[in-house]
């Protein structure tokens, strides 16, 4: 395998894990218009829960579901703090994130919990025997792709239900929700629960992929999530993305969830390229910030042009 | 927009192409990932390169070194490890526990040997078996603190002291296990340990004020967070005339009274020699047990001692590996 292929493989793997997390951030940031910082805590929460459960002998696949549920509980708490205790959105996320830092350390018992010697969803006897040796480097990617696609389809499906419709309405027009005689608070809580469930699931997968839980992996999750969402959604803003032409009869439209997945992969690709190009890790955050800015400015510019044309 | 994007895309592809085209000949390429930036780990890296050079692997000649620092960010550490694996380096050196684990996780089943160093407890980190044998294609050196020798030294310097304050970050496994060990043996030397756990650098000033009000002296571990803010603690301690003991040479250099500690340069060098064995094909990483440095050396700072009005015992000073007479910034 050439170096380029394995770099791409690595980027796709990392990107897909973070794509699941980014879909969660998409729900809060784009749909609910709620800047939810609790993800910095729920991502390692998923990792911590998974590491502890796997060591206790729980089936690695089952830990995915448990992490999902526990993430949902954490998200629900953020929602309750915001809705019932009337704490501002940004602050309720910060409160939850801070609380989860200690909680994660309590759950794992320590800051770093290895599961190298345990079976995971990626590394187990089943794959070793069933998958031919040549294909083994690709099992992780295929598995991640399957999980990411399932989660994306589930989210797409959910957004089409009545509850999903209300979720979108809360972000766009709260009055409408009230007019429909629905409690917008409950809708927000549900949205936060789903979002953080996605994030914790990503954390669970991340721990199984890297082979250990480490408290410091949570820091900056929200930045990666926001970057993925912003890159993805701005990139594919135009509908259809490719206009109808001879090649594509109907043109190509990209769903927002797909855009977010691609955004996450692109973000990871940028980081990988930055590191490969000899950029210091200490400069990476600056690169991220610049990338953010460029994409936001470019997409704003387009909006202005459209308005001027009206 | 489309134009901008396509230019970006081309640039991305071009860079990744260039990154992929490392030429291999007689020379070997190694990736060194360092988890955080501070004196001990930097010394470790220099020692590592010196050890390699001693065995004929000289950087710039027949050794290409790809060095990355994760700046204490776990996600970056894993990205760095993945990049090393993707670039097919001949060997990865992981400095400090999270970096070593990331490297091992990424290189597992990829036939790239991993050498770790500055990992306090390789067994707890699942990087080695309890009998010191490797768990895979990985070996290295541990920087376990010589706890008992340190306590013995503190007793000699401060015959009347009763309590020792230790500050550590709750998020660093190495520190947590060191605290446990200190608590277990402190009684044998007539000390009581007062611990103070912190989460971030920002907690340090308050925690230091609180701790300094309760103890006769402070003892420092190799805790990455605390060490990087050591000057803050030293300044506050100096104001109250409370001695601060260190755990290695760099800490004494910048103003700790004394330390019985490892020489991280030596530790790195020992690790470099092991890496050379692996690179030359003499042994596989999976055949070498992890090593610890058994010798610990005494370091003292006479400038700090005179500021505190303490005389360091003659026998310690004469046995010192290095004495400092200034406090470097």
Whether B6 maps to a domain, the answer reads: no
Mean pLDDT over B195-201 rounds to: 87
The reply to whether B15 touches chain A by the CB within 8 Å rule is: yes
Over 80: is that where the pLDDT of A2 sits? Answer: no
Whether B2 maps to a domain, the answer reads: no
What average pLDDT does chain A have?
A: 87
CA distances to B145, B151, B154, B160, B294 from B188, in Å: 17, 9, 13, 15, 21
Please tell me which of the candidates B72, B86, B109 has its beta carbon nearest to residue A216: B72
Q: How many domains is chain A built from?
A: 1
What is the span of the domain harbouring residue B214? Answer: 147-261+296-324
Please tell me which of the candidates A7, A210, A219 has its beta carbon nearest to residue B105: A210
C-alpha A211, offset from chain centre? 19
* Model pLDDT for residues B159-178, shown as the tens digit of each residue: 999 999 999 988 787 888 88
Same domain membership, residue B281 and residue B132: yes
Q: Where residue B23 falls among pLDDT bands split at 50, 70, 90?
A: very low
Same domain membership, residue B215 and residue B193: yes
* Model pLDDT for residues A209-249, shown as the tens digit of each residue: 988 898 888 888 898 899 899 889 888 876 666 666 666 66
The reply to whether B85 touches chain A by the CB within 8 Å rule is: yes
* Model pLDDT for residues A162-191, shown as the tens digit of each residue: 999 899 888 888 888 888 878 889 999 999
* Model pLDDT for residues B285-319, shown as the tens digit of each residue: 999 999 987 778 899 999 999 999 999 999 999 98
| The residue to which tokens 């046995």 are assigned | B319
Q: Chain B: nearest CA to A273, how far in angstroms?
A: 6
CA distances to B159, B179, B181, B189 from B148, in Å: 16, 12, 9, 9
Residue of B29, B35, B84, B86 to mutate for A, most A C-beta atoms under 10 A: B86
Determine the 3-state secondary structure of B29 from DSSP: strand
Same domain membership, residue B113 and residue B241: no
Q: Residues of B numbered 39-78 whose beta carbons fall under 8 angstroms of chain A's beta carbons: which are they?
A: 68-76, 78
Whether B104 maps to a domain, the answer reads: yes
Whether B329 maps to a domain, the answer reads: no
Whether B18 maps to a domain, the answer reads: no
Q: Chain B: nearest CA to A222, how far in angstroms?
A: 12
Q: How many domains is chain B built from?
A: 2
**Which pLDDT value is given to residue B231?**
87
Looking at residue A73, which CATH number applies to its domain?
1.10.3470
**Which pLDDT value is given to residue A174?**
80
The reply to whether A112 touches chain B by the CB within 8 Å rule is: yes
The reply to whether A7 touches chain B by the CB within 8 Å rule is: yes
Whether B54 maps to a domain, the answer reads: yes
Please tell me which of the candidates A7, A217, A269 has its beta carbon nearest to residue B75: A217
Q: Residues of B numbered 167-226 whose beta carbons fall under 8 angstroms of chain A's beta carbons: which are they?
A: 170-173, 176, 199
Same domain membership, residue B67 and residue B33: yes
CA distances to A149, B66, B150 from A193, in Å: 20, 42, 50
Same domain membership, residue B122 and residue B257: no
Please tell me which of the candidates B17, B76, B88 has its beta carbon nearest to residue A281: B76
Over 70: is that where the pLDDT of B17 sits? Answer: no
| The residue to which tokens 């190509």 are assigned | A252
Q: Does ipTM come in above 0.90?
A: no
Least Cα distance to B34 among B106, B119, B105 occurs for B119
A145 or B39, higher pLDDT = A145
In this structure, chain A runs to a length of 310
Same domain membership, residue B110 and residue B68: yes
Q: Which region holds residue B241: left if phi is over 0, alpha if psi is between -120 and 50, else beta?
A: left
Whether B223 maps to a domain, the answer reads: yes
The reply to whether A4 touches chain B by the CB within 8 Å rule is: yes
Lowest mean pLDDT among A139-143, A146-150, A234-238: A234-238
Looking at residue B61, which CATH number applies to its domain?
3.40.50.2300
* Model pLDDT for residues B118-132, shown as the tens digit of each residue: 998 899 889 999 998
Query: Using CA atoms, how far apart are residues B186 and B192, in angstroms rounded to an integer?
Result: 6
Query: Using CA atoms, how far apart are residues A159 and A249, in angstroms rounded to an integer?
Result: 27
Query: Using CA atoms, how far apart are residues B64 and B67, in angstroms rounded to an integer?
Result: 10
pTM of the model: 0.78
What is the span of the domain harbouring residue A56? Answer: 3-309
Over 50: is that where the pLDDT of B21 sits? Answer: no
**Which pLDDT value is given to residue A59?**
95
Chain A environment of B70 (Cβ under 8 Å): 281
* Model pLDDT for residues A20-69, shown as the tens digit of each residue: 999 999 999 999 989 899 999 999 999 999 999 999 999 999 999 999 99
Same domain membership, residue B113 and residue B186: no
Contact: B173, A111; criterion CB under 8 Å:
yes
């Amino acid at each position: 395998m050439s170096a380029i292929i394995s770099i791409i493989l690595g980027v796709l793997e990392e990107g897909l894990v973070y794509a699941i997390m980014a879909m969660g951030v998409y729900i809060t940031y784009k749909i609910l218009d709620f800047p939810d910082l609790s993800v910095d805590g729920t991502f390692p929460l998923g990792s911590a829960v998974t590491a502890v459960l796997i060591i206790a002998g729980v089936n690695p696949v089952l830990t995915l579901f448990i992490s999902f549920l526990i993430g949902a509980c954490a998200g629900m708490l953020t929602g309750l703090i915001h809705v019932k205790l009337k704490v501002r959105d940004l602050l309720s996320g910060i409160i939850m994130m801070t609380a989860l830092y200690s909680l994660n350390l309590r759950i794992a018992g320590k800051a770093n919990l290895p599961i190298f010697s345990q079976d995971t969803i990626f590394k187990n006897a089943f794959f070793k025997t069933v998958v031919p040796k040549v294909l083994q480097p690709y099992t992780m990617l295929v598995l991640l792709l399957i999980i990411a696609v399932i989660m994306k389809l589930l989210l797409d499906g959910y957004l089409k239900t009545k509850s999903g419709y209300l979720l979108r309405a809360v972000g766009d027009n709260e009055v409408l929700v009230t007019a429909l005689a629905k409690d917008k608070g409950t809708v927000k809580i549900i949205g936060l629960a789903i979002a953080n469930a996605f994030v914790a699931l990503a954390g669970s997968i991340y721990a199984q992929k890297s082979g250990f839980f480490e408290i410091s992996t949570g820091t900056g999750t929200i930045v990666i999530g926001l970057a993925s969402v912003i890159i993805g959604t701005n990139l594919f803003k135009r509908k259809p993305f490719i206009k109808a032409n001879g090649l594509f009869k109907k043109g190509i439209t990209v769903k927002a969830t797909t855009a977010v997945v691609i955004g996450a992969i692109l973000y990871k690709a940028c980081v990988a390229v930055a590191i490969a190009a000899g950029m210091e890790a200490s400069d990476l955050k600056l690169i991220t910030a610049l990338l953010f800015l460029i994409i936001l400015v470019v997409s704003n510019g387009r909006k202005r042009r459209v308005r001027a044309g009206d | 927009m489309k134009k901008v994007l396509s230019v970006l895309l081309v640039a991305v592809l071009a860079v990744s192409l260039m990154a992929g085209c490392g030429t291999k000949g007689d020379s070997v390429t190694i990736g060194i990932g360092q988890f955080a930036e501070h004196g001990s780990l930097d010394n470790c890296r220099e020692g590592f390169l010196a050890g390699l050079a001693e065995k004929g692997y000289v950087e710039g000649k027949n050794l290409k070194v790809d060095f990355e620092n994760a700046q204490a960010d776990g996600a970056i550490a894993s990205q760095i490890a993945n990049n090393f694996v993707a670039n097919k380096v001949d060997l990865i050196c992981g400095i400090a526990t999270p970096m070593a684990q990331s490297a091992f996780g990424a290189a597992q089943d990829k036939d790239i040997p991993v050498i770790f160093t500055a990992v306090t407890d390789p067994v707890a980190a699942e990087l080695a078996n309890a009998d010191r044998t490797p768990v895979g294609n990985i070996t290295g050196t541990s920087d376990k603190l010589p706890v008992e020798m340190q306590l013995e030294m503190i007793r000699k310097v401060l015959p009347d002291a009763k309590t020792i304050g230790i500050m550590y970050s709750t998020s660093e496994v190495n520190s947590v296990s060191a605290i446990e060990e200190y608590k277990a043996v402190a009684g044998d030397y007539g000390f009581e340990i007062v611990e103070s756990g912190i989460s971030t650098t920002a907690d340090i000033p308050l925690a230091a004020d609180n701790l300094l009000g309760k103890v006769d002296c402070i003892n420092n571990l190799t805790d990455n967070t605390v060490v990087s803010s050591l000057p803050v603690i030293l300044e506050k301690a100096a104001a109250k005339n409370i001695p601060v003991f260190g755990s290695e040479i760099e800490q004494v250099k910048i103003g700790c009274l004394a330390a019985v500690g490892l020489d991280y340069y030596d530790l790195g060098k020992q690790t470099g020699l092991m890496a050379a064995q692996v690179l030359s094909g003499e042994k596989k990483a999976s055949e070498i047990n992890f090593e610890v440095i058994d010798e610990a050396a005494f370091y003292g700072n006479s400038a700090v001692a005179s500021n505190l009005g303490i005389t360091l015992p003659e026998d310690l000073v004469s046995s010192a590996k290095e004495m400092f007479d200034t406090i470097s910034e």
